[in-house]
Amino acid sequence: MPTTYERIAAIIAETASVEPGRITPTAHVINDLGIDSLDFLDIVFAIDKEFGIKVPVEEWTEQVNAGTAPAEQFFVLGPLAERIDELVQGARGSKG
């Protein structure tokens, strides 16, 4: 069964036409992969659907802009996968 990171990597490769070889756990979605805001929006939509969650991009962006969280926590793929796992677990907890 693919990991969360692998599922996100597949979404990015397909949605934003990024070569799979460029997608690594340390890659920053924007700085390293060159994904623009509209493609990122498509990726978030695909993640929302794939995992049955609502990725809180606005909240994350506010935290980064306010300096209360580093951008890497949300926009580098390895940590992003961890955030998605947390959201999935949170969604399961709220349903159970």
Partner 1 sequence: MKLEYFSMLDRIATRDAETLVAEATLPDASPVFEGHFPGFPLLPGVLMIECMAQAGGWLMLARQDFARMPLLAKVGTAKLRGMLRPGARLSISARLTHDGSGYAVMAGRIDSDGQMAAEAEYTLRTLPFPDAALEALVRARGVELGLV
Q: Is residue 48 a contact residue for partner 1 (CB under 8 A)?
A: yes
Q: Identify the residue among 14, 52, 54, 65 touching partner 1 (CB under 8 A).
A: 54
Q: Identify the residue among 6, 22, 26, 49 touching partner 1 (CB under 8 A).
A: 49
Q: Is residue 65 a contact residue for partner 1 (CB under 8 A)?
A: no
Q: Is residue 12 a contact residue for partner 1 (CB under 8 A)?
A: no
Question: How is 12-61 classified by DSSP, letter by letter?
Answer: HHHHH---GGG--TT-BTTTTT---HHHHHHHHHHHHHHHTS---HHHHH
